[in-house]
Amino acid sequence: MNRNASSASGPSFYEFFAGGGMARLGLGATWTCAFANDFDPVKAATYRDNHDDAASHFHEGDVWKVAPADLPGRADLAWASSPCQDFSLAGARAGLQGGRSSAFFGFWKLMEALSAEGRGPDTVVVENVVGLLTSHGGADFTALCRALASQGYRFGALEIDAARFVPQSRPRVFVIATRLPVEDLAGPSPFQTRAVREAHARLPAELQGAWTWWGLAAPPTRNTDLAALLEADDQVTWRADADTAALLDLMAPAHRAAVEARVQSGERAVGAVFRRMRGGQQRAEVRFDGVAGCLRTPRGGSSRQTLLVIDQGQVRSRLLSPREGARLMGLPDAYRLPKSATAGLHVIGDGVAAPVVRWLSERLLTPLALKRAPLRKSAPLAAE
């Protein structure tokens, strides 16, 4: 079935590894989702629960089993937040050949097939953890760039920390590739980080020749902090005092001193705490900069993020709730989460921060799509 993917009013996109549809929320109403895919039943159910039109375009299942005929028409954009565990600095670094991250090649097989039919997307975005830039000494990033160049795409990468937009430290790499003219969208950017520049320098000359330095500007200064997104104290469940004391006992002297200084001040302070292994010993590390640590899924041994609240000399602790996690991803309170806290954190921890996608959409992706708008309006509809 080859429905036309472009609406008369705006550009369209395919969303792969869609999760709960956070990239779609970031792209906004200007964009029409023509096809979305995820193999995870919990994420698929969350997507359907939050997007009333999901029945018309959402495909639950392995990306390797999606056929080109399942994708309607020709979309302006293909978004792929491919599984990141094998690129993560905390993981085994299996790279593009890893069990989960190899799903990228299932996605890319479809892009190649669409291009062979003359309906490959003009623009492709691949979002992943920063480890993508250095996995296997940069060989995996080179393989990704080579795949993009083989289909006639120019490409470049940006490293964006969601903390620019929401009070959560969540650095991610966005590789934006396009076949459309790019000159007016190129230039300096604060998101051309050292890691991005070094990844570019490792590329062979022929791939450097296809590189674009995307000129994405910095957003306005964020005006919210972690405390502003939390539930009221009387609406949450606090840990027992003994559990809080045990948490404090896991802190190294510098972190314990930071807590004590705030106790002595008598003022209210909110800290985000993670448990980590340091030198073979479990430690609790707290930050009081108004920013949460990177949200994680409940699998793989990752600890659930803990909040430490100090008020009038009293120290209390509790777990971050899924709703608070959703707010840290820039999602509205109307976004419906799974009833299970574990399932909710699973969906949220694997997602992409919607405000980051929105900034990319407004400053790069929509301007790129508008370059093809006259062609889109004059093109005949694809046959049903």
Please give the angle made by the CA atoms of 171, 124 and 211, to the nearest 5 degrees.
75
- Predicted local confidence at residue 90, as pLDDT: 43
Please write the tens of the pLDDT for every residue from 204-238.
Answer: 999 999 999 999 999 999 999 999 999 999 999 99
The CATH classification number of 12-220+346-378 equals 3.40.50.150
- Report pLDDT digits (tens) over 48-88: 999 999 999 999 999 999 999 999 999 999 999 987 655 54
* Alpha carbons 322 and 370: distance in angstroms, whole number: 37
pTM of the model as a whole? 0.91
Supply the DSSP symbol for 175.
Answer: E
pLDDT by residue (tens digit) across 5-34? Answer: 544 468 999 999 999 999 999 999 999 999
Q: What residue ranges of the chain are covered by domains with CATH 3.40.50.150?
A: 12-220+346-378
Confidence of residue 2 (pLDDT cuts 50, 70, 90): very low
Average of per-residue pLDDT across 95-111? 75
- Residues whose CB falls within 8 Å of the CB of residue 268, separated by 6 or more in sequence, listed in order: 227, 309, 310, 311, 312
Other CB atoms within 10 Å distance of the CB of residue 367? 13
